[in-house]
Amino acid sequence: MIKSEIVGYSQAFVEKRTDWTDEIFSLRLTGASLKFKAGQFTKLALLDEQGELISRAYSLVNAPLMTSDVLEFLLISNSDGKLSPRLHQLKVGDGLYVGESAHGDLIFDTIPKSSTNLWLLSTGTGIGPFLSLLDDLNFRPNCDKVVLVHGVRHQADLVYHYLIEQLIEQYEGRLVYIPIVSREIKQGALHGRIPQLIDEGQLMDAAGVNFDPEGSFVMLCGNPAMIKDTTKSLLNQGLSRFRHAVGGNIVYERYW
């Protein structure tokens, strides 16, 4: 259900949807004009049967484009949830609301210019803001090495392969992509969970670079338990939480 004017939101329409699995999907929207930085999130919303607005935060997957109002999002439908199953039912041409502002620290400006290696550690839909960040032609992280890590349950959850392939080419050897599958064995992917793979050194071996307090900057996004456990592992590697005033190595965005 959608009616025209909601304060703080503009109306958008589904231009395209991609179904990666039965639950994981992407929506490409047009019609809303949103100013955002690559890596940020905004709100998506719908009205329920009572006319109440149900609104949740979602990260942009694309980088801002000068010439188009396209906004792309990667979502998972949580069957017990209030909003995501409704978003999952949207078809091409259907309307929804998009917040008029964007927020979040997983952006180019946060990365210290002195960083020599940038680690983008994600689980599930948490890869979205990192794809946006990497795809921004105007603000490419200038580090010697960028490591994009995506931890998922099943190999079918490893989304946006074509875009990642393109990015690997564009970064000319500076971008390493490490898929991790926890509930299946997949050739070419690590098996297990991010913190365990850091503790055992397998992640650094696969990346070809170690964590170090001087040169590493680490962004984490997705499952809050992953963020908690991974932060512990990174602290054990000598890194520290990032604070704008004092610096440090670790920033994160929890999805729930």
Ligand X SMILES: NC(=O)c1ccc[n+]([C@@H]2O[C@H](COP(=O)([O-])OP(=O)(O)OC[C@H]3O[C@@H](n4cnc5c(N)ncnc54)[C@H](OP(=O)(O)O)[C@@H]3O)[C@@H](O)[C@H]2O)c1
Ligand Y SMILES: Cc1cc2nc3c(=O)[nH]c(=O)nc-3n(C[C@H](O)[C@H](O)[C@H](O)COP(=O)(O)OP(=O)(O)OC[C@H]3O[C@@H](n4cnc5c(N)ncnc54)[C@H](O)[C@@H]3O)c2cc1C
**In the complex, which residues of this chain contact ligand Y (CB under 6 A)?**
41, 56-59, 73-76, 78, 81-84, 124-125, 128, 253, 255-256
Q: Minimal distance in Å, beta carbon 133 to ligand Y?
A: 13
User: Shortest Cβ contact with ligand X: which residue?
Assistant: 124
CB of 248 to ligand Y, least distance (A): 20
Residues 6+ apart with CB under 8 A from 160: 61, 74, 127, 131
Beta bridge partners of 46: 54
Segment interacting with ligand X (CB under 6 A) among 29-37, 200-208, 224-232, 237-245 = 224-232
The two structure tokens encoding residue 75: 């979502």
Q: Minimal distance in Å, beta carbon 229 to ligand X?
A: 4
Q: Rule CB under 6 A: is residue 249 a binding residue for ligand X?
A: no
Q: Which of residues 182-211 bind ligand X (CB under 6 A)?
A: 182-183, 193-195
Q: Which of 218, 224, 252, 222 is nearest to 236 (CA)?
A: 218
For 145, counting Cβ atoms within 10 Å of its Cβ (0-12 exposed, 13-18 middle, 19+ buried), the class is: buried
Strands 71-76 and 24-30: antiparallel
By a kind-dependent CB cut-off of 5 to 8 A, residue 225 interacts, out of ligand X, ligand Y, none, with: ligand X
Residue 58: name its binding partner from ligand Y, ligand X, none (Cβ under 5 to 8 Å by kind). Answer: ligand Y
CB of 86 to ligand Y, least distance (A): 8
**Stretch touching ligand X by CB under 6 A, among 54-62, 89-97, 111-119, 146-154:** 146-154
Q: What is the dihedral of CA 71, 74, 79, 81, to 10 degrees?
A: -60
Q: Specify whether the CB–CB gap between 221 and 255 falls below 8 A.
A: yes
Sign of CA dihedral 106, 58, 71, 36: negative
- 47 or 57, CB closer to ligand Y? 57
Within 10 angstroms of residue 8's Cβ, the number of other Cβ atoms is 12
* Pick 34 or 74: Cβ nearer ligand Y: 74
58 versus 211: smaller Cβ distance to ligand Y = 58
For the segment 36-75, give every residue that binds ligand X (CB under 6 A).
Answer: none
CA–CA separation, 149 vs 139, rounded Å? 20
Contacts to ligand X by CB under 6 A: 23, 76, 78, 123-124, 151-154, 157, 182-183, 193-195, 222-223, 225-226, 229
